[in-house]
Every structure is written in structure tokens, then in C-alpha cells.
Amino acid sequence: MPVIIRWLGHACFHCQGEGVSLLTDPFDEDVGYPLPQVEADLVTVSHDHHDHNAVNLLPGNPGVIRDVGVHHFQSLEIKGFPVFHDEVRGAKRGDNIIFVWEMDELRLCHLGDLGHLLDDTTLNSIGKIDILMVPVGGVFTIDGREARDVVDQLQPRLVIPMHYKTPALSFELDVAEKFTLYFDRVRQDKLWQGTVADLPHEQEVLVLDYHD
């Protein structure tokens, strides 16, 4: 069964696998995008800021993971790795969590509001990644050039940018093009749907349209 990934805006994705769905970093009404209306079985929260932690506004009663370490939920194993929201070990904006999970043989990674390049210890702990969701908008996270460097570190097959300026967003970030300009293989779509066999043979950047 294919995995379906939809971008709901900002750092929020709905990832649907066989029998279980996971939603990342739900935002509140101040962010500008329509609030997520999709029910999910599980929600990950990378850090406790209003544009990433609005679990209370979601429909249903999902499980929530907001801590580092290894977590199990139904068929999923989710690992949270401690990193920082800035380049000075959290002194400006605090901590952040990278979440990695395997869904129907695909290894997905959501970087949250990562603010720095990854050290060797974190890279080795994360391991192989198939699909990477990476912030690219700068200001509060890594910018486009730094995001390219993190992509080089992790070497995913598919790269999905997030946390950048769109007409819907209520505050200023860089646009996605400041990231995508570093890549030759870039395409746009409404969602990604597929299995391991559907991953691109060469690394590709996929810019998703946001869904309400």
C-alpha cells in the first residue's frame, strides 16, 4: 500500500500509511493557513511554539509525541533526536526535536525548526533517510543554503521543503526558491504517493501545494 504525504502548510504534514496516519507540527490560527481539519492517529511536536504545537485545535483525539527517545504507537516506531532551534545551542530559541519513523518500509524524517547543521553523532543516530522534510525559510531556522547543506549531510532520495513564505503565511520568511535554486531536479505537485519503488532514482526536491 502506498504512503500518502500531504502538506497542510508551514511545518505540518499528514502522512498516511497502511492502517495508521501521522501528523507533524500542527499550527494555530495566527499562522495564516487554514487549520488542519484531518484526523490523525498520532501527532509529533518538534518544539513548544504556537506555530508547531497546536494539538488542542486538531479534530479527534490523537496520540501525541513531544519528547526525544524511542516511542511506539501501533505499527510505528518513532525516534526523537535532540537538536536546537538556533545556531547557539538553544540560547536564542530553545530546543528542537528531529523525528524519524518508518512507514511501510519508507524512512521519513521531519527536522522541525532545525537551526544548525547536524553533528556526526546525530547524523549517525539518524541513519539512512528516504524522505526528508526540511525547513528552508531562514529567520527562525536554517536558511536555503544551510538547508542544502543538511540535505547533503543526510542524502535523502526525496526532499520536501517546508517552513517558508507563501501568500498564506502571516509572517516573513524566505521563499522556497532560495532553497530550490541549489538543485537541478525540482518539481511541484499536490501530494506525494508511493512506495519504496516509487522513490526517485536521483535525488529530487518536491515542492508541495498546501491543503486545507
Q: Number of folded domains in the chain?
A: 1
Domain, as residue range, for 166: 3-208
Output phi, psi for 95, to 5 deg: -90, 165
| pLDDT one-digit tens code per residue, 85-115 | 657 675 566 689 999 999 999 999 999 999 9
pTM: 0.95
| Cα separation values, 121 from 56, 60, 92, 209, 212, Å | 34, 37, 23, 34, 38
CATH code of 59's domain: 3.60.15.10
Residues 69 and 78: beta-carbon distance below 8 Å? no
Q: Does pLDDT of 64 surpass 70?
A: yes
pLDDT digits (tens, 9 = 90+) for 126-185: 999 999 999 999 998 999 999 999 999 999 999 999 999 999 999 999 999 999 999 999
Q: Using the predicted structure, report yes or no on whether residue 34 has a pLDDT greater than 70.
A: yes
Confidence of residue 1 (pLDDT cuts 50, 70, 90): confident
User: Given the C-alpha cell 547543506, which residue does it identify?
Assistant: 149
